[in-house]
Chains A and B, each alone.
Chain A
């Protein structure tokens, strides 16, 4: 049953890909078939993974591929099911969204080819999450990277897109290289490539190899997840992609890195090296904080969202890092709590980031720009999109009662409990991480006040923004599914968390949901009866209940009062225009000045005037912040590599005689080496 459903999903993706290729010349057919089939596949996958996740068992089977000497083994264990479920939901929403989003592409771009790569991406992602051996996993991993590259660079006429795509491809492959070595070390020790033999294998390696394996996996998966300082490709590649692809990239492709880390940290490793938890926690905190600080400075809506993905990956890693530390300190219950916090945030982030990117896609679709300074007032033309975007913004800011709050609350609780787990000084890391997480969350809410406020509120800042109209029904449906998901995962967290029992049982051999959930799922508690409780459903119910009070007050006391509209106070100037509004740049100015050590902002103002400098005829304003990581870390490395390559060129003379000589010398050396052994 499970197997049939899941395989059905895979077949639907494959058929969708084929349908895209076949109907290259018929855009309408390509759009309906490729994305309709993708949606069907996603639905089947959601159901199958949902059942598997709820049941908590492990299902494994072999795909009948017909390729000899190689098993296409699929395994749906709790960790896989968790990520596969998120993927299914996102794929469903994005596929339906794409049906409307791509209508404009007809006649301009090749929807058939796009649909092919889109389905291949979904297929390979599914297999990344469920592959049961290392070879199959790496194969799916590569197909995922390549199809993602093709989709990201689909609008390849712009130089920006091509450069970003190349950067993505290079870094992605560097990551695969690290993974390859790590898997080889494991395979040499385990004797097979099967993931089930890798279970707690890494912890049985000699210490040196253990450290190497951990670091290699962390680097390889960290590049995909976009952790700082390996993130530079992410804010470049995610925004230039078509918006539905951005949504998938930020929502779930980076989660492939998170999935890999969860698999390695909590499946391949039994008890991780002591330093590893510290490292992951520290990197998580740094990613979260720096990610949100850069997000705050962005005026490009999609780049802002991309940087905020880095922040959220950081929050997930805080959970993972704390879980690793608790495991080394011998506190499996706390480790389970921290792991659940991380995984739950991964799932939540998938939902709300996908929602926000689809919202951004709708805005770009309606206004034709990604620049927030040219938006404004969209809430009137696009009320539904605005509402969905607002739900996403509240969720990503970690505010109650929606889902972001629940996972951040769990993370805080894990960190708080961590203080008592060790007598060493390492315990100070937990509260410090907690306070920096609080800073991150508060900055994120500032960031999304800016993102929502500047984009949707007040007066339109450009003609296009004034003319923006609501997007089509299928696009609204795609966003609506995700918005509903954010609310359900927020209010219904207590009913959803027990599903994670299977994950923690697989990873740590314990089930903790009975300590996490009280009052039939209505209330969440932090492990023990007295360590603190929260109820998002209760808060929501109280908000509705108590809202009677102000409503009554206004009704009774204000029955004689009048409500009128009038112009906004304009300081006595003749009429308020969009030029009087606060801009996105201005909104983030205080933080730009406060954190100027990081940003190193530069600005240039040139004013032209005829009579007096107080009456300028034209002003040119330029402001930018320094891309620190790109400039200080990657630029030098790039230059080294280019210099080295330049020197290598001497060897590549292009003369056939030289190459013959190389071959001859190599042959002699190999013969000598062979004769010696």
Chain B
């Protein structure tokens, strides 16, 4: 019990501290690739600190749901983050849920966030909610196929179990089914975290916003919670991807050296994945909203091919 609480606490701290770092890293790397200097890796921390100390303006039209939303978004992301293996093959809350629970916890956060967007009564909120729900719905089948592929390999939906079976066969990601599933999940990651070419996290241009439109009325502390929740969600999805497919450095159990090695490897893997994301973001333009389904159809096809290749190869 004591050990379990310590592990949970440790991973929670990790989620809270590393998630802004990943956002900052991606932003800086992107700026460098576009020959800008960028704000520095630590900027998200400063933003969060500033927002957390600021006052906020609540729209007159909003109900209690608007104020509950930031907490739910933050909590669902945090708890989902505790269900995935980060620095050890054993997730602290693995018993409470596997990959399905992670997906559905994030869906709960999105559900409430979309309601928060509608609650303000502005067109932007509704527009963002509508688009976010549409895109996430279309991303779902591709994600589930890829998850099925991974889960069938481990014969389990428990992420700790997935990681445990992956240990010892680190190079299995070269298997066609794994590579296809990785590609499918990568596209889903792009859609779920609202990155180019699906959404642009840096835009506030009225007609192209998706996620930003939904949270447009949030300010101050609530905005901080939502942004932090979003960063945790991004971190956990990226970790899910790298640890399921590249289980390098993962150890069974929690020992201090093992965890430190795991942390080092995790940061390295996250940097690699961030690099790929930045490359995709820099070399692509944002798609029209109605081209996004085509991209997600590609992801679905990749997922289906991944599944078929599990028994063809």
Mark A residues whose CB is within 8 Å of B. 377, 379-380, 390, 394, 397-400, 405, 409, 412-413, 416, 419-420, 428, 431-432, 434-439, 441-443, 445-446, 448-450, 452-454, 456-459, 519, 523, 526, 530-535, 538-539, 542-543, 546-547, 549-551, 553-554, 557-558, 560-570, 576, 578, 580-583, 586-591, 593-594
**CA gap between A435 and B145 in the complex, in Å:** 6
**CA gap between A380 and B60 in the complex, in Å:** 12
* 7 closest A-B pairs by CB: A582-B126, A532-B157, A453-B118, A458-B121, A446-B133, A438-B144, A442-B137
Flag if B104 contacts A405 (CB, 8 Å): yes
8 A-B interface contacts by CB (under 8 A):
A399-B111, A431-B152, A434-B148, A439-B144, A446-B137, A543-B75, A565-B57, A568-B217
Also in contact, A561 and B122, with CB within 8 A (given A431-B148, A533-B95)? no
Mark B residues whose CB is within 8 Å of A. 12, 49, 52-65, 70-71, 74-76, 78-79, 82, 93-101, 103-105, 107-108, 110-111, 114-115, 118-127, 129-131, 133-134, 136-145, 148-149, 151-152, 155-158, 161, 216-217, 220-221, 225, 289-290, 293, 300, 303-304, 307-308
Flag if B155 contacts A530 (CB, 8 Å): yes
Flag if B161 contacts A530 (CB, 8 Å): yes
**CA gap between A431 and B303 in the complex, in Å:** 10
Smallest CB separation, A372 vs chain B (Å): 12
Flag if B60 contacts A582 (CB, 8 Å): no
**CA gap between A380 and B65 in the complex, in Å:** 11
- Could you say which residues of chain B place their CB within 8 Å of the CB of A436? 141
Flag if B152 contacts A533 (CB, 8 Å): no
**CA gap between A541 and B126 in the complex, in Å:** 32
Flag if A416 contacts B60 (CB, 8 Å): no
- Could you say which residues of chain A place their CB within 8 Å of the CB of B82? 542
Also in contact, A586 and B126, with CB within 8 A (given A439-B141, A591-B134)? yes
Flag if A542 contacts B122 (CB, 8 Å): no
Flag if B145 contacts A439 (CB, 8 Å): no
**CA gap between A483 and B115 in the complex, in Å:** 20
Smallest CB separation, A331 vs chain B (Å): 14
- Could you say which residues of chain A place their CB within 8 Å of the CB of B115? 449, 452-453, 457
Flag if A416 contacts B151 (CB, 8 Å): yes
**CA gap between A416 and B162 in the complex, in Å:** 14
Smallest CB separation, A435 vs chain B (Å): 4
Smallest CB separation, A411 vs chain B (Å): 10
- Could you say which residues of chain A place their CB within 8 Å of the CB of B108? 394, 399-400
Flag if B129 contacts A453 (CB, 8 Å): yes
Flag if B130 contacts A546 (CB, 8 Å): no
- Could you say which residues of chain A place their CB within 8 Å of the CB of B96? 523, 533-535, 538-539, 542
- Could you say which residues of chain B place their CB within 8 Å of the CB of A535? 95-97
- Could you say which residues of chain A place their CB within 8 Å of the CB of B151? 416, 532
**CA gap between A560 and B217 in the complex, in Å:** 21
Cβ-defined partner of B107 (8 Å) among A442, A538, A565, A590: A442
Also in contact, A533 and B53, with CB within 8 A (given A441-B140, A538-B96, A546-B79)? no
Flag if B122 contacts A397 (CB, 8 Å): no
**CA gap between A328 and B111 in the complex, in Å:** 39
**CA gap between A454 and B118 in the complex, in Å:** 7
In the complex, besides A446-B137, A549-B78, 20 extra interface pairs with C-beta distance below 8 angstroms are A377-B61, A379-B63, A399-B107, A413-B100, A413-B157, A419-B148, A432-B304, A438-B143, A457-B65, A458-B121, A526-B157, A534-B101, A547-B71, A547-B75, A549-B12, A554-B225, A558-B53, A569-B122, A569-B217, A590-B131
